[in-house]
């Protein structure tokens, strides 16, 4: 392995910081109406906290960018065990928010262990797959234990419950396992079991069934399960080509719930229009392209799988989040990377980008 560092991929840095800057502006625009009312009584409340999270995340990104990525292979098992410990801890003493016990509170701030578990799983799975490359083609000795690694975290996350985070985690793991050489025939069989299990999870909770039915026809229950999708579409529709103008959203006036969080792209489309929404999508595509390039040109299998897991995690969240706000997918709680308000998600994403940048410094 070549240990000669080069400059990091500045295209990744550009795309990430551009998205982050847009995100801070849009968090303020989307949250000011809500934040100026009690208990916050400060229109800059969410924007100031997002700026703090961004600075913490950039600091973490800079640090991880300068830590040789193979160090994470040595600490991957410890990180995975720590992730499991936090997921168990949140079930015992976690704070319940919107029906999900996903938060650990520390003073005025809180963290979501599920967010950090995603990066822990990516690192440990990359280590396991690179150490057991010849076993991956086997079903019992390869595919089953490889899927078992994320499944443990997925099970703990579903006890919270948090279907969105669990879906991203398992989706990322499947991409990594498939890319490492697992057989399509093995995936096909397990895929049917996975679909059956997913249907079982949906049917086990009445609110998930309502989300599915409201996704198919949100106007059948416009004041309850279909409310978020309808209000999101009411935001996107009037945006037109150029938008209503920055700060001019109507839906953020207490129509769309938490517009600065999972549905921030709706406000982007309303205020900045098709042009603004397309710019954000192009920035994500630019980040995806350079991330995939880093994964392909990484000097070893561990680096390649680690880079693939990080960029895959970002891509899955983008697809699901935008699919939800445009009515293509059922509503689920997944943030839009770098744009949505949230300390755990933003810090985790920027930390992951830092690791990706370090891998790019050794790419061929």
User: 């989706």: which residue's tokens?
Assistant: 171
Q: Which domain holds residue 90?
A: 10-361
Cβ contact 43:334 at 8 Å: no
By CB atoms closer than 10 A (0-12, 13-18, 19+), residue 5 is exposed
**Residue 129, token pair as written in the block:** 């797959």
Domain count, the chain: 1
Q: 4 in a domain, yes or no? A: no
Handedness of CA 351, 354, 355, 356 (dihedral sign): positive
Q: 51 in a domain, yes or no? A: yes
Q: 188 in a domain, yes or no? A: yes
What global pTM score does this model have?
A: 0.91
How many helices (H) and strands (E) the chain has is answered by 12, 3
- What pLDDT score does 76 carry? 92
- What pLDDT score does 260 carry? 93
Q: 161 in a domain, yes or no? A: yes
Q: 92 in a domain, yes or no? A: yes
Q: What is the dihedral of CA 270, 275, 276, 277, to 10 degrees?
A: 80
Q: 2 in a domain, yes or no? A: no
- What pLDDT score does 212 carry? 67
Q: Where are the alpha helices (DSSP H) in 242-329?
A: 264-297, 301-325
- What pLDDT score does 356 carry? 96
Using omega within 30 degrees of 0 as the cis cutoff, is the peptide bond preceding 126 cis?
no
- What pLDDT score does 173 carry? 92
**Residue 313, token pair as written in the block:** 């995690």
Q: 3 in a domain, yes or no? A: no
Could you tell me which residues are beta bridge partners of residue 101? Answer: 96
- What pLDDT score does 3 carry? 62
- What pLDDT score does 346 carry? 93
3-state secondary structure of 331: coil
- What pLDDT score does 213 carry? 67
SS (H, E, C) 196-232: HHHHHHHHHCHHHHHHHHHHHCHHHCCCCCCHHHHHH
- What pLDDT score does 39 carry? 85
Residues of the chain with pLDDT under 70: 1-4, 98, 106-109, 186, 189, 194, 198, 201-214
**Residue 20, token pair as written in the block:** 């982050």
Q: 5 in a domain, yes or no? A: no
User: 């995340």: which residue's tokens?
Assistant: 57
> Which of 116, 74, 108 is closest to 302 using CA atoms?
74
- What pLDDT score does 142 carry? 75
């Amino acid at each position: 392995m070549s240990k000669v560092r080069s400059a990091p991929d500045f295209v990744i840095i550009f795309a990430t910081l551009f998205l982050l800057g847009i995100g801070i502006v849009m968090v303020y625009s989307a949250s000011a109406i809500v934040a100026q009312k009690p208990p916050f009584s400060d229109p800059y409340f969410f924007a100031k906290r997002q700026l703090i999270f961004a600075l913490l995340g950039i600091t973490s990104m800079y640090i991880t960018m300068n830590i040789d990525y193979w160090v994470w292979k040595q600490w991957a098992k410890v990180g995975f065990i720590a992730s499991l410990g936090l997921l168990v801890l949140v079930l015992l003493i976690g704070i319940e928010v919107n029906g999900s016990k996903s938060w650990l509170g520390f003073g005025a701030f809180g963290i979501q262990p599920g967010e950090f578990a995603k990066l822990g799983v990516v690192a440990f799975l990359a280590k396991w797959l690179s150490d057991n490359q010849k076993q991956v083609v086997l079903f019992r000795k390869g595919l089953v234990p490889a899927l078992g690694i994320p499944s443990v975290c997925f099970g703990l996350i579903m006890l919270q419950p948090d279907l969105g985070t669990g879906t991203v985690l398992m989706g990322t793991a499947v991409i990594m396992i498939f890319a490492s050489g697992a057989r399509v025939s093995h995936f096909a069989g397990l895929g049917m079991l996975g679909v059956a299990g997913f249907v079982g999870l949906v049917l086990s909770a009445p609110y998930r069934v309502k989300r599915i039915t409201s996704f198919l026809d949100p106007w059948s229950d416009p004041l309850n399960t279909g409310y978020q999708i309808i209000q999101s579409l009411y935001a996107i529709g009037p945006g037109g080509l150029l938008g209503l103008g920055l700060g001019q959203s109507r839906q953020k006036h207490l129509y769309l719930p938490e517009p600065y969080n999972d549905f921030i792209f709706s406000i982007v489309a309303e205020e900045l229009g098709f042009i603004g929404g397309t710019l954000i999508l192009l920035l994500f595509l630019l980040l995806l392209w350079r991330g995939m390039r880093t994964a392909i040109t990484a000097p070893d299998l561990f680096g390649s799988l680690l880079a693939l897991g990080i960029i895959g995690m970002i891509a899955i969240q983008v697809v699901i989040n935008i699919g939800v706000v445009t009515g293509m997918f059922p509503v689920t709680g997944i943030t839009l990377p770098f744009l949505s308000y949230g300390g755990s998600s933003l810090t985790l994403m920027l930390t992951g980008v830092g690791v990706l940048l370090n891998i790019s410094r050794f790419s061929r």
